[in-house]
Amino acid sequence: MIATKNAGKAKEMAEILSDLPYEVVSLSAYPDAPDVEETGSTFVENAIIKATAYAQYTGELTLADDSGLEVDALGGAPGVYSSRFAPSDPERIAKLLDLMKDVPDKDRTARFKCAVAIAEPTGSVRTCEGKIEGTIARDARGSNGFGYDPVFVVTETGRRMAELESGEKNSISHRGRALAEAIKILRPCRV
Ligand code: ITT
Q: Is the CB of 43 under 6 A from ligand 1?
A: no
* pLDDT value of position 191: 39
CA-CA distance, 119 to 161, in Å (whole number)? 29
Task: Give me the long-range contacts of 102-109 (CB less than 8 A, separation at least 24).
Answer: 103/73, 103/136, 105/135, 107/72, 107/73, 108/71, 108/73, 108/135, 108/136, 108/137, 109/71, 109/72, 109/73, 109/133, 109/134, 109/135
Give the domains, in start order, of the chain with CATH numbers: 7-186 (3.90.950.10)
- Residue 174 and residue 132 in contact, taking contact as beta carbons nearer than 8 Å: yes
Q: Is the CB of 160 under 6 A from ligand 1?
A: no
List residues with catalytic annotation: 66
- Residue 35 and residue 105 in contact, taking contact as beta carbons nearer than 8 Å: no
Q: From the CA of 173, give the closest atom in ligand 1.
A: 27
Residue to substitute in 148, 149, 169, 177 for testing ligand 1 pocket (most ligand atoms within 8 angstroms of CB)? 148
* Span from the CA of 173 to the centroid of ligand 1 (angstroms): 13
Q: SS3 of 68, please?
A: strand
* pLDDT value of position 101: 98
* pLDDT value of position 21: 87
* Span from the CA of 82 to the centroid of ligand 1 (angstroms): 7
pTM over 0.85: yes
Q: Is the CB of 6 under 6 A from ligand 1?
A: yes
Residue 156 one-letter amino acid: E
Stretches where the chain sits below pLDDT 70 are 189-191
Reported as a single tens digit per residue, the pLDDT across 96-136 is 999 999 999 999 999 999 999 999 999 999 999 999 999 99
* pLDDT value of position 141: 98
Angle at 32 between CA 30 and CA 35, to 5 degrees: 100
Per-residue three-class SS string for 91-150: HHHHHHHHHCCCCCHHHCEEEEEEEEEEECCCCCEEEEEEEEEEEECCCCCCCCCCCCHH
Q: Is the CB of 70 under 6 A from ligand 1?
A: no
